[in-house]
Each structure stands twice: as C-alpha cells, then as structure tokens.
Amino acid sequence: MDTDAMAGSGGSDGSGGNTTSTGGNSTTTGGNSSEGGGAGEGGMAPGSGGSETGTGGNEPNPPDGPAICQGDGDCADLDQVCAMMRSICVDCVTSGDCDDGEVCEQNECQARPVCEDSLDCPNVDLVCVTDGGAPGPGQGVCLECGSPADCEEEESCVNNVCVRGCASDKDCTPLGMLCDFDSGSCATCLNAADCADGEYCSDGTCMEAVCTPGETVCVGEDIATCNEIGSGYGDIDGCFNGACDVVDGEATCVEDGFGP
C-alpha cells in the first residue's frame, strides 16, 4: 500500500516570487513559485494558472494542485510537510505532524477526543489509543481501534478503523469490495484500475488524482513528471544546461531561454 497515503491529499498552494516580466527573459528575485500558488521564498512548489509561458519569458505557470516538493523545507511556507514518495506538500504524513488531539487521516489532520484511558472516551465503541498504537496509559486520542482485539471477530483494525477481515474475495464481494491480502481486510480498491477515471487507489480507498499520469510541469528550472497513477510526482529532473519552459504543452529544457 501507499505509505504516504495512510493519509490523503491535502496541500494548497501559496504565493511567491520568480514571475517573468513581459517581453524579457529575466526573472525577479524571490521564491520559486508563480503568483497565485506554490511555495513562498525558497519553495519548489508550482502555482496556479495553467501550463503556459509568460510573454517573452522562460518561467511557465504550473497547474493548480498541491505544491511540488523535494523535502520538508519546500513546504515550510505552507505550514505543510513533504510526502516524499509523491513529491507533493500535504498537511501531514503521520499523526506526529499534527497537533495534540489530532490524527493524520488521508494526509489531513483530524481532531479526536483526548484521553488518558478508554474511560475518557465519549462512548464504548471507542478506545484510548496512544502513539504506540495500542490502548494504554498516557496521553492518547479516542479511536475505533488500536489493535484487532478491539474489533469484532471477523474484523481487522486498519488505520484505527474496524473493517471486515477476509481470506478470500468471497468474504468481500457481498459488500461490493475486494480482499486486500496484505492487510487481510476488505477494501474498495486494490489498484487504480478499480477506481474511476481521474482517481487512484490509496490504502483501499479511491482518491482524486492530483495530476495527469505522464504530464510534465516546470518547477523552477527543473522538470517534474506525474507518476503512473496520478498520486504525485515521481521524477524531478534538472535542466543543467539551460532552463525549463513549456513547449507545445510539455515541460522542456531549453538553452538560454530561446527555445529547444
């Protein structure tokens, strides 16, 4: 399963510098994003506004979507972290990225009741789960399960939720689901083919794609390529002898800003 997507997508783009001036090839000093999106000063993230170049300039306007990153520093101005496997900024990768009393679900921090033990939880269907994952003393949050023992006999605990366990697809097909043999639980999807167009499969759930598989965008002077399922960017390649520009809808390395 996608390790980044124990929690799902999340980043929104900020604003920064490095926009092109009309009719020239020079850029202003500042961050690496264009107006309307991306990371601020020092960021690697794209802005909004489509994949077209400015008049006479070499810095394209990357598409809407999560900011592209190569490390947490690229997401700092957005108060986010980098999902390294997908090269996009998200609110959280683990619950440690969230505030106290919050857990990371699908890359978003969700508030949960704080507890010292399970007696603090608002109803008997919840248990107090600490960072270690199992119920126990200490500061925790109230969740559906911390281990399979918290679920019914035919259920498994997956991402702190009790789900139907399985040993065969026959255990899941009456629910309109398939058996994920890695987790031993029923899942909505096992791969992108089980989801609708424009979606990818993350931890057994269909999620909206953040980019079109195979599409390329400029990130500063680098080229980022959307991965094969559209969950993020798998490759970011530098233009060592020139700059990145969009030519015929495709990010391309050009020399001296005058074309390929």
What's residue 163's pLDDT?
93
Residues 156, 184 contacting (CB under 8 angstroms): yes
The residue with tokens 């920064």 is 16
Residues 183, 156 contacting (CB under 8 angstroms): yes
Dist. CA 73–CA 53, nearest whole Å: 26
What's residue 7's pLDDT?
38
Closest C-alpha among 194, 150, 148 to residue 172: 194
What's residue 133's pLDDT?
66
Dist. CA 242–CA 260, nearest whole Å: 10
Residues 193, 230 contacting (CB under 8 angstroms): no
Whole-number Cα distances in Å, 79 to 33, 130, 139: 16, 25, 25
- Those residues whose C-beta lies under 8 Å from the C-beta of residue 27, and which sit 6 or more positions away, are 18, 19, 20, 21, 57, 58, 59
Could you state, in chain order, the average pLDDT of each consecutive group of 10 residues for the chain (260 residues)? 42 38 39 38 40 38 75 94 94 92 92 93 93 72 94 90 94 94 92 92 92 90 91 88 86 67
Answering whether pTM is above 0.75, one says no
Dist. CA 145–CA 185, nearest whole Å: 14
